[in-house]
Amino acid sequence: MSTHRNPLCRGPYGEDGTRSDGPDCSDPAVFEVTRHHRPALRVCPVHLGPSLLLATAVLWPPEIRLVGRASAPSA
């Protein structure tokens, strides 16, 4: 395995440690959703919307940060 720059998507549920197999999604995370008393949830664009509604302890209104680039190749 080579080092990948972006962490993988943890969405849409964002439960840490409940799945030993890892998250269902294997796309690189692009957004980071801030949560109450939990590490920020990193998700891909597809799971950004669902994660806001399904993940635990998401702030409302949502607080989202861009942490990766969806499609732009590194120059």
User: For binding to Zn ion (CB under 5 A), which residues are involved?
Assistant: 9, 11, 25, 27, 44, 47
Comparison of 34 and 45: residue with beta carbon closer to Zn ion: 45
Using CA atoms, how far apart are residues 45 and 2, in angstroms rounded to an integer?
Answer: 23
CB of 75 vs Zn ion, minimal distance in Å? 25
Min CB(52)–Zn ion separation in Å: 13
24/63 with CB nearer Zn ion:
24
d(CA 30, CA 27): 9
CA neighbor of 43 nearest in space, from 26, 61, 59, 30: 30
> What minimum distance in Å lies between the beta carbon of 32 and Zn ion?
13
> Which is nearer to Zn ion, 21 or 75 (by Cβ)?
21
Task: Report the candidate in 21, 73, 67 with the shortest Cα–Cα distance to residue 48.
Answer: 67
